[in-house]
Structure 1
Amino acid sequence: MSDAAADLPPGALLLGREWLGFDETGQIALIRFQAQLSFTNRHGTIQGGFLAAMLDSATGICALAALSPDLTVVTRSLDTRFLKPARIGPITARARVIERTDREMVVQAELVDAEGITVADATARLRILAKT
């Protein structure tokens, strides 16, 4: 994991982000979030904006883990689908780089709840930049 993956900005702290590492293939990054009561909507499930923020965070940290420390990424687009209601508790992201050029990356991620149900997924297009 790069130093950037270990640095928790305020948004990542709010989401309870925890880097778990890569799966046994070394291709899929695993990131855990903690969905809190304060993230719920009027139906008692996690509001979609928080799920989108988790997906944005997961795709970004996956991209950073694949880059050298002198590079960073910014999200250009995040195509998100909400599949099932998400509940309070741990939600694990599984993210993987599916395309990469010198200037751009495409990363896919899914969010899986404690019961193993995929609650949301996304494809992120990220711009690769030199750190300033």
Structure 2
Amino acid sequence: MNIHEGVMALNDEDLMARMNRFVPPTAELLGQEILEIDSAAGRVKMKFLPIAACRNPMGNIQGGIVVAMLDDAAATAAIVKAGKRIGIPSIEMKTSFFAPARAGVPLFAEGRCIKLGKRVAFMEADLFDAAGTLLARLTTSAVPLDLDGPSALVERT
């Protein structure tokens, strides 16, 4: 079954509800929630609240965790743009850090699929704090792959 549950495609609101219910295992670690989907534009807005173990020695969110949040936002943008169940393994990525991501407060990401081709997808994502301060930006490319068979998603209860 693909993300559109059979023949009839889900609207963005129903797709968001489904994607918030069936999540990758990292969603709990990152405190991930999809807030908005625009599948036609290939854009998503997400909220993150990583667990305390994601902190670095200075008490901020560790840089690799920031990259993981941005990677999830960028990949989700490509997935919703595709309109079908795909995998989106990265082939390269670059992240620029502008300010520390503070721990214990919500962080917000916007992921955008810039171009979704048959062989390569180009995406970007920005991470903000609640005040709207830009904390980090990721640019990435990936190989869109059609997925068959069971997924590794888990159902939130």
Tell me the TM-score normalised to structure 1 length. 0.87
How has the CA–CA distance of structure 1 residues 28 and 70 changed in structure 2, closer, same or farther, with 3 Å as cutoff? closer
Q: Distance in 2 between matches of 1:27 and 1:130?
A: 17
| Partners of 2:82 and 2:116 within 8 A in 1 | no
Is 1:58 the equivalent of 2:73?
Answer: yes
RMSD, aligned CA: 2.1
Identity percentage over the alignment?
31
Residues 75-127 of structure 1, C-alpha deviations (whole Å, 9 max, x = no match):
21221111101102111101111122112111110000112111111011011
List gaps (5 residues or longer) in structure 2: 1-11, 149-157
64, 83, 87: which one aligns with 2:98: 83
How has the CA–CA distance of structure 1 residues 26 and 100 changed in structure 2, closer, same or farther, with 3 Å as cutoff? closer
Q: Distance in 2 between matches of 1:63 and 1:107?
A: 7
Query: 1:46 is matched with which residue?
Result: 61
| Partners of 1:12 and 1:57 within 8 A in 2 | no
Query: Would you tell me which structure has more strand in proportion to its own residues?
Result: 1
| Partners of 2:41 and 2:81 within 8 A in 1 | no
Is 1:116 the equivalent of 2:116?
Answer: no
| CA apart distance, 1:22 | 3.3
Is 1:129 the equivalent of 2:145?
Answer: yes
The structure with more radius of gyration? 2
How has the CA–CA distance of structure 1 residues 93 and 69 changed in structure 2, closer, same or farther, with 3 Å as cutoff? same
How has the CA–CA distance of structure 1 residues 120 and 63 changed in structure 2, closer, same or farther, with 3 Å as cutoff? same
Q: Distance in 1 between matches of 2:121 and 2:42?
A: 15
Query: 1:74 is matched with which residue?
Result: 89
Q: Distance in 2 between matches of 1:97 and 1:62?
A: 5
Query: 1:95 is matched with which residue?
Result: 111
Is 1:105 the equivalent of 2:121?
Answer: yes
